[in-house]
């Protein structure tokens, strides 16, 4: 099944909250997830000329602000991170409503998640729908939210989670076979001594 880009918000079996973002792509597979600094991961084409072909393929996908993680499939990551003082629900609702779905041939939805050690919200804006929801994370499980055929937040979109470190989770999600065309994955996990980030690319 092809679900395009997707987020997974969950907990490891030992109870560490995490969010993962995976780029799956038919059209722009030559990209990588690159750690820019301790707080930011970007999705970048390997050939920088590709940046000019499509406005939606280059962006920060993870941003950490103090003890809060923001993850998304586009440039809205930065705007949500700037609006965290609104609260998680309203930062998602405001930015998703203002930025709207992507104006490409597929009307690609914008998806996003905000996570800290206490709570997690997920949200999306599609051409025919908009939603923000608090999700209760469970040990060893992750909610996935994808742009195509999986743009929902509910108990039917839950996968088992393997791995305890950011590296292990990134490896697991990147190689998650059911979801086709893997390209790159970025993970932020809340460990006892802080937030850890890892990236894996094909
Ligand atoms: N975020 C991304 O990395 C990203 N990659 C591709 N898109 C958009 O989705 C369209 C379809 O891409 P694909 O065929 O790779 O699923 C692209 O033309 C582009 O407008 C993206 N936009 C949203 O997911």
From residue 98, alpha-carbon distances to 14, 65, 68 in Å are 37, 21, 22
Q: What is the pLDDT of residues 149-176, one digit of tens each?
A: 999 999 999 999 999 999 999 999 999 9
* Ligand 1 lined by 113 (C-beta under 6 Å): no
Task: Please tell me the predicted confidence (pLDDT) of residue 86.
Answer: 98
Task: Please tell me the predicted confidence (pLDDT) of residue 107.
Answer: 98
* Ligand 1 lined by 27 (C-beta under 6 Å): yes
**Taking CA 147 as the corner, what is the angle to CA 144 and CA 150, rounded to the nearest 5 degrees?**
50
Q: Which residues of the chain have pLDDT under 70?
A: none
User: What's the gap in Å between 57 CA and the centre of ligand 1?
Assistant: 6
Share of the chain above pLDDT 70, in %: 100
Does the predicted model carry a pTM greater than 0.95?
yes
Burial (Cβ within 10 Å: 0-12, 13-18, ≥19) of residue 100: middle
* Ligand 1 lined by 149 (C-beta under 6 Å): no
Structure token digits, residue 100: 């709207």
Backbone angles phi, psi at 174, to 5 degrees: -60, -40
Q: How far is CA 76 from the centre of its chain?
A: 11
Task: Please tell me the predicted confidence (pLDDT) of residue 131.
Answer: 98
Task: Please tell me the predicted confidence (pLDDT) of residue 152.
Answer: 97
Q: If residue 199 lies in a helix (H) or strand (E), which one and from where to where?
A: strand 194-201
User: What's the gap in Å between 191 CA and the centre of ligand 1?
Assistant: 31
**Could you tell me the residue ranges of all domains in the chain?**
5-201
From residue 167, alpha-carbon distances to 7, 82, 118, 122, 197 in Å are 16, 27, 22, 23, 8
Spell out the residues 6+ positions from residue 168 whose beta carbon is closer than 8 angstroms to its own: 162
To the question of domain 5-201 being in CATH 3.90.550.10, the answer is no
* Ligand 1 lined by 2 (C-beta under 6 Å): no
Q: CB atoms < 10 A from the CB of 144, how many?
A: 24
User: What's the gap in Å between 165 CA and the centre of ligand 1?
Assistant: 28
Which residue among 108, 109, 127 has the greatest number of ligand 1 atoms within 8 angstroms of its CB, and so is best to mutate?
108
């Amino acid at each position: 099944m092809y679900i395009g880009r997707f987020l997974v918000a969950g907990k490891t079996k030992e109870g560490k909250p995490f969010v993962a973002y995976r780029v799956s792509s038919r059209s722009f597979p030559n990209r990588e997830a690159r750690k820019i600094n301790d707080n930011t991961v970007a999705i970048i084409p390997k050939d920088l000329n590709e940046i000019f072909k499509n406005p939606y393929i280059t962006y920060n996908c993870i941003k950490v602000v103090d003890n809060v993680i923001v993850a998304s499939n586009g440039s809205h990551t930065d705007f949500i991170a700037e609006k965290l003082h609104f609260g998680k629900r309203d930062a998602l609702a405001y930015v998703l409503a203002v930025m709207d779905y992507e104006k490409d041939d597929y009307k690609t939805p914008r998806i996003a998640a905000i996570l800290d050690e206490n709570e997690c919200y997920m949200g999306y804006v599609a051409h025919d729908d908009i939603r923000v929801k608090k999700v209760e994370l469970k040990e060893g499980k992750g909610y996935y939210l994808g742009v195509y055929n999986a743009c929902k937040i509910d108990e039917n979109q839950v996968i088992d989670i393997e791995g305890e470190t950011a590296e292990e989770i990134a490896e697991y999600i990147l190689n998650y076979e059911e979801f086709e065309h893997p390209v790159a994955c970025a993970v932020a996990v809340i460990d006892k001594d802080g937030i850890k980030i890892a990236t894996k690319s094909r």
